[in-house]
Structure 1
């Protein structure tokens, strides 16, 4: 593993993809897994994968997934991930930065994140693979006068197919229900403010609603109360920092907005079943 530092390393697109888009189709056998894919890493771009064949084992933000069926996989910027194992898989992938993403799709991706790998039907597999092939063909037409605009348009069409799959499979069928809209607004606010705001009242105030009503909306939609989501977001970031930096637990607690180091340590232990140092040592073995 690379040496640790005082910050979480972020991989950027290679220089040859200076337009902010990379797209391709690849086979991987058990013996050909790229080294960079095996080590936990994160990106500053969006990663879309269509696994067409084979079996893969992913770890995304420290949660393991075995993928046997044709599936779509979306990995958001900064999510820690790696491929644990790949058994004769064939897959398409698209890497794209924020600047090339349609603003509407970017907002939807922020709302549905974090996501899990999602199986797709044979019908949608065919549609998405065809969209990938179009993107790949346009990606290779670098001399075209409308190269970037046509590539962006085709890639955003592909992204819309990914987003549609996640929205179709979402338990939130009634997208116009007030509970659902408030939960979405809460999650967006949480992502921006979790290091500073730790109380349900902080988010109820931002949304101009009462704490009981916010809890009712979030619990009805997700099955968990507001406090649970706040704590889980903090713990996820703590895990990322423990894995990727050499900051002390006390420094991490302070970065995440906890002046009371002992309280943060108890919270981490209660949420994960182990101390922060045990988590760090376990995942660095």
Structure 2
């Protein structure tokens, strides 16, 4: 296994200066990309329709085998790599944060992380047709309104894919106040876990008491606010321990802990083993 000083971040190539790219990959056109087979993050949103073939993907220490029509979404922070790719026919949309409609972005953030979702033939047909239309627009670079047309069409695709996920997710309109606060907490946690470390930090953001925030989160998840803060920090630490060569002290500092012994105790308590032992066991 090859490791790097930090987790590689794949950025949009310069030729995609607009921050949007749409493509179809067929068995004939696919080539094995060494970078794809190594753990990495994206600095963009990645939407995929896998129509045919077999893929085995690892996302944040979980493996997903896909061998039927499936959609999946990878957010910018997730660490992933391809383990196996066979005879694939798939469609891909790469889109930067600023190009996604704010309403769609808010919904995405409220339901992320998302697991691969198998779809039926009816959904496959409309998704494939929408991808093909976006690809057609993507190629029409001479058009006077090229970018607005491309942006609007790809956002329609994003909305379509999100709507399929929402079939299996409770919509915000149906959420109780407890559930709405719980979702808001997790959205904030994902953005601020490097900075905000205490339940009181999060409660202050919502102008509610710590006890009420705890009640909302525990009611929805069965666990306390402190538990989820610690789990999110330790997940990021595991990513860095497994996929990079940063020292434990460097990881602690990157995650906002100047007190290295405290971070070390937190990791051991949460993970059940020390950070050094986690790295040793998972690299063997």
TM-score, reference length from structure 1? 0.89
Distance 2:233 2:133 in 1: 40
Output aligned runs, 1:21-170, within 5 Å: 21-28=20-27, 32-170=31-169
1:3 deviates by 6.3
Query: 2:185 aligns to what?
Result: 186
Given that 1:28 and 1:86 are in contact with CA atoms closer than 8 Å, whether structure 2 keeps it comes out as no
Unaligned runs of 5+ in 1: none
Q: Mark the CA change 1:223 to 1:32 in structure 2 (over 3 Å): closer, same or farther.
A: farther
- Give me the TM-score of the superposition, normalised by structure 2: 0.89
Question: Contact conserved, 1:172 with 1:180, CA < 8 A, in 2?
Answer: no
Q: Tell whether the 8 Å contact from 2:252 to 2:258 is kept in structure 1 after alignment.
A: yes
Task: Provide the C-alpha distance between the structure 2 equivalents of 1:59 and 1:227, rounded to a whole number of angstroms.
Answer: 27
CA shift, 1:95, in A, is 0.4
Deviations 1:145-170 (A, max 9, x none): 21111111110000001211222212
| C-alpha distance after superposition, 1:239-269 (max 9, x if no partner) | 2322444332022123323344333223323
Assess, with a 3 A threshold, how the Cα gap between structure 1 residues 67 and 171 changes in structure 2: closer, same or farther: farther
Please give the alpha-carbon distance, in whole angstroms, between the structure 2 residues aligned to 1:27 and 1:235: 38
| SS at 2:26 equivalent | strand
Partners of 2:111 and 2:210 in 1: CA distance: 23
Aligned counterpart, 2:15: 16
Equivalenced residues, count: 283
Residue aligning to 2:4? 4
Aligned to 2:249: 250
Cα drift, residue 227 of structure 1: 2.0
Counterpart contact for 1:24–1:92, Cα < 8 Å: yes
Counterpart secondary structure, 1:36: coil
The answer for the alignment partner of 1:207 in structure 2 is 206
Q: Secondary structure at the match of 1:35?
A: coil
Structure 2: gaps spanning 5 or more residues = none
- Does the CA-based 8 Å contact 2:3-2:243 persist in structure 1? no
Q: CA deviation at 1:171?
A: 4.8
Poorly superposed stretches of 4+, deviation over 6 Å: none
Deviation at 1:50, TM superposition (A): 0.8
Whether the aligned pair in 2 keeps the contact of 1:175 and 1:181 (CA below 8 Å) is no
Distance 2:61 2:51 in 1: 24
Q: For 1:64 and 1:267, locate their aligned partners in 2 and report how far apart those are by CA, in whole Å.
A: 26
1:172, 1:221 within 8 Å by CA — same for their partners in 2? no
Q: Are 1:233 and 2:232 counterparts?
A: yes
- Post-superposition Cα deviations, 1:171-190, rounded to whole Å, max 9, x if no partner, equal 56763421221012111221
CA 1:3–1:245: 2 relative to 1, 3 Å: closer
